[in-house]
Chain A
Amino acid sequence: MLPRKLRIATTSLSGCFGCHMSFLDIDERLIELAGLVEFDRSPITDIKHCSQRCDVALIEGGVCNAENVHVLRELRANAKTLVALGACAVNGGLPAQRNHLDVGRCLSQVYRTPDGTAAAIPNDPELPLLLDKVYPINEIVRVDYFLPGCPPSGDTIWKFLTDLLTGRTPRIEHPLLKFD
């Protein structure tokens, strides 16, 4: 009997989808991967919420708004192994450069005209509120593995996944380890 396929969930919080694109950069190895895993909730599937307990959750992006927190907690609750994928998830990344600014002033700057009249900051309750700062995901939930890089290269992601899928402790070192 073939071993059970591992279930992988992925999501992008305050990410740019670059880590997902870098994941797709493993190119034809995706076909090999498809033989080993199946995908649960992910931007590349149509599953809205984790349908069952997953083995691995790959999280791209930091945590910048309330919805990010809910999504992150859902994936943590439904995944055995949760992975911070990319610089944003690991340390907030470039979006965290807003952390030295006041979030209210950021929104005013973007949504209001200079005289403060013509446009307003969106206030529909459907929209998630921004947090005061952008947080790395390990400041919200426990994280099992970190894979830095902006983005981690396809080869790095492949090395990490193959280590994980074959039961080895993932090891990323020169030249696969990059922060930029």
Chain B
Amino acid sequence: MSEANNANTFSIDGQRIAFEPGQTILQAALAAGVYIPHLCHHPDLKPHGSCKLCTVVVNGRNGSACTQKAMPGLEVENNSPALNDRRRVLLQMLFVEGNHFCPGCEKSGNCQLQALAYDLEMLTPHFRHAFPVRQVDTSHPDVWLDRNRCVMCELCVRASRDLDGKNVFMLAGRGADSKIVVNSPSGLLGDSELAPDDRAAQVCPVGAILPKRVGYAVPIGQRQFDAQPISRQVDYLAGRHLADAETEVR
């Protein structure tokens, strides 16, 4: 028994991590309470591999922790200055690619992109800003979509397809012209089947898909990433906060 347990472990920065067969490196790390920066991963959805923030060095080669399976004996390098430098550059690219004016965004303080930038001490977006002009869709009575803040993680696409079964969103276009489009005859959110209770309407990690009329409801200081940096909120990222809340109710 103990031999079998030993077989199903690997190391992250020298720390032993146990894993269940089939888990990815990121899933096993989060389950063990070890933080690996990530943006497009969600515990309830299949891996995507687009944000590249979870890039780790596995046995000497770069790999995405969210897509690479945990294997016995892997040696993973995660929290190194070199990797964090590259993650910071990825964040800077995401910030200049969109219009991320946090001072006027309802998601500020609850935004994973912002929290990652805080945690990796990103002080400037550094690159030349693109200042894109993308359509803002306010046609839905309860939900609105600001494409200028979208980081194209496709969490809404995956949630709508795999959890809601509605296929409301999809990514269209190529390269820098890629954007989220709505699968309705008019292309407008108001003509789609999206409901405010859908997972797709709630899963956005940034301020691109937001509920209407409830902005700025949480006092500054009580927002998700005010008290603790995102790297200390592994339970939240692993989805355990929801399970705990349910247990408390019982």
Contacts and interface: CB of A to CB of B under 8 A. Distances in A.
A145 B124 CA distance: 9
A14 B131 CA distance: 17
Query: Chain B: interface residue count, which band?
Result: 20 to 34
Contact of A87 (B102, B128, B133): B102
B94 interface: no
Interface in B174-211: none
A139 B128 CA distance: 7
Nearest to B108: A180
A174 interface: yes
A147 B118 contact: no
Contacts, number: 76
Interface string A142-154: 0101111010000
Nearest to A101: B133
B131 A133 contact: yes
B103 A96 contact: no
A173 B108 CA distance: 17
Interface in B128-158: 128-129, 131, 133, 148
Given A94-B103, A150-B103, A179-B103, A174 B124 contact: no
Contacts of A61: none
Nearest to B104: A94
Interface string B95-135: 10001111111001100001001110101111011010100
A139 B104 contact: no
**B103, B117, B125, B133 interface centre (most CB from chain A within 10 Å):** B103
A172 interface: yes
A146 B101 contact: no
Contacts of B99: 96-97, 99-100
B50 to A, nearest CB: 23
B128 A148 contact: no
A48 to B, nearest CB: 30
A96 B121 contact: no
B165 interface: no
A147 B95 CA distance: 16
Contacts of A81: none
Contact of A100 (B102, B121, B131): B131
A15 interface: no
Contacts of B103: 87, 93-94, 150, 179-180
Contacts of A138: 124, 126
A64 to B, nearest CB: 13
Given A93-B101, A146-B123, A179 B128 contact: no
B138 to A, nearest CB: 15
A148 B128 CA distance: 16
Given A97-B101, A100-B133, A174-B229, 5 more contacts: A84-B124, A92-B129, A133-B131, A136-B125, A179-B117
Interface of A: 84, 87, 90-94, 96-97, 99-100, 133, 136, 138-139, 143, 145-148, 150, 171-175, 177-180
Interface of B: 95, 99-105, 108-109, 114, 117-119, 121, 123-126, 128-129, 131, 133, 148, 226, 229
